[in-house]
Structure 1
């Protein structure tokens, strides 16, 4: 999918220079920047990342303690 993003001249010049320094294209720099942004906000980047996140221990369901639950009255007492 193709989308356009506008940069001011100074920012674009700095991005071009960074690309030259790192031997990367503007597209590669943009891919890295957007992946970092998504990661920062906890959005999975791809299927592998989504599976890893869903399998992490912090996402595991927790069991509620039965000690804090009121006991039910028993019939016949």
Structure 2
């Protein structure tokens, strides 16, 4: 999996650590959830299947109805 270094303010990082501990999860799982929520909020696909479905909608020719 690709990695990216992201800097957090100390207070935010502490709060995320506490949340992860309270939910018995990892920071990575919290970050994955946050990114998915952000993508959904902005109408972006969150997985490959959704991305392919959206791509097909954009590139598919529009059908013309019969008169």
TM-score by length of 1: 0.63
What displacement does 1:24 show?
1.0
Which residue does 1:22 correspond to in 2? 23
How many residues are treated as equivalent by the alignment? 61
RMSD, matched Cα: 2.4
Write the deviation string for residues 47-66 of structure 1: whole angstroms up to 9, x where unpaired: 232356578xxxxx5868x7
CA deviation digits over 1:9-50, x for unaligned, max 9? 111110000000111111110000000000111111112323
TM-score between the two structures when normalised by the length of structure 2: 0.72
Q: How far, CA to CA, are the matches of 2:45 and 2:7 in structure 1?
A: 26
Q: Distance in 1 between matches of 2:63 and 2:23?
A: 45
Where do 5+ consecutive residues of structure 2 fail to align?
Answer: 57-61
**Which residue does the alignment assign to 2:59?**
none
Relative contact order (C-alpha < 8 Å, sep 6+): which is higher?
2
Q: Which runs of 4+ in 1 moved over 6 A?
A: none
Higher helix fraction (1 or 2): 2
Instruction: Please give the alpha-carbon distance, in whole angstroms, between the structure 2 residues aligned to 1:50 and 1:12.
Output: 31
The higher radius of gyration belongs to: 1
